[in-house]
Amino acid sequence: MKTIQPMLFRRAVLAGAAAVLSLALGGPAVQAQDAGAKQASAAATQDAIRDLWVGHIFWVRNVVVDTYAGNAAGAAAAEKQVVANAKAIAGAIEPFYGKAASDKLFGLLAGHWGAIKEHIAATNKGDAAGQKAAVDKLTANANEIAGFLSGANPNLPNETLRGLLMAHGGHHVQQNQQLKAKQYEQEAQTWDAMRNHMYTVADALTAAIAKQFPDKFSS
């Protein structure tokens, strides 16, 4: 099976992580905070957000595996967890931006999952046109999420955040295709890259929020 890797996704993998972390963290200053309580609170938040984003790729992978195996019950159960995880990710921003923003993010994350689900189905059927349509939706959705988050937090530049989200979508696309082709060793490498990328996204979001709302991390 030929692997489809849109050029935009390839560029995003190279450019996104370093740029967002540098800008969102505000350079070395964040690492040099002198308030131990603030550092502890930010670290706990970072760990929680990391867990949420890794949970996203964990449950999506379960959907992929069970779908390809023809295990409809397993895929449905895993999908419920994908949705619950998206609600939790969206809920994590509510203390900072309010319920309306949380609801908006959940809708955008639902769109992200919807595009991934379409790509899973198309890959399972060998439908190249369906795969491309799903990738187009992932791309448009990445633009929307980046615009929303950068609009809420000036420490998250739109273009670099978009790069991170595009790279994330590219990982899903690659994983879907590798699992379908039974390229398990390659998929194991993709999983490692996905997990590390989720850490990058989570850390950038945490740092940007801590920078925007320093008083909320004072104790």
Tens digits of per-residue pLDDT, 173-201? 999 999 999 999 999 999 999 999 999 99
Q: Of 172, 171, 204, 195, which is closest to residue 64 (Cα–Cα)?
A: 172
The answer to whether 66 and 78 have CB atoms below 8 angstroms apart is: yes
The answer to whether 167 and 9 have CB atoms below 8 angstroms apart is: yes
Determine the Cα–Cα distance for residues 118 and 105; give it in Å rounded to an integer.
Answer: 20
List Cα–Cα distances, 98 to 23, 56, 103, 123, in angstroms.
Answer: 24, 22, 9, 38
pTM for the full model? 0.84
The answer to whether 1 and 180 have CB atoms below 8 angstroms apart is: yes
Q: Give the pair of three-digit tokens for residue 77.
A: 């159960």
Determine the Cα–Cα distance for residues 194 and 64; give it in Å rounded to an integer.
Answer: 15
Q: What angle is formed at CA 100 by the lines to CA 94 and CA 104, rounded to 5 degrees?
A: 95
Q: Which of 30-34, 50-54, 91-95, 158-162 has the lowest mean pLDDT?
A: 30-34
Each residue's pLDDT tens digit, 17-62: 444 444 444 443 334 344 444 554 778 889 999 999 999 999 999 9
Give the model's pLDDT for residue 43: 84
Domain residue spans of the chain: 7-17+40-210
List Cα–Cα distances, 144 to 109, 169, 171, in angstroms.
Answer: 10, 13, 18
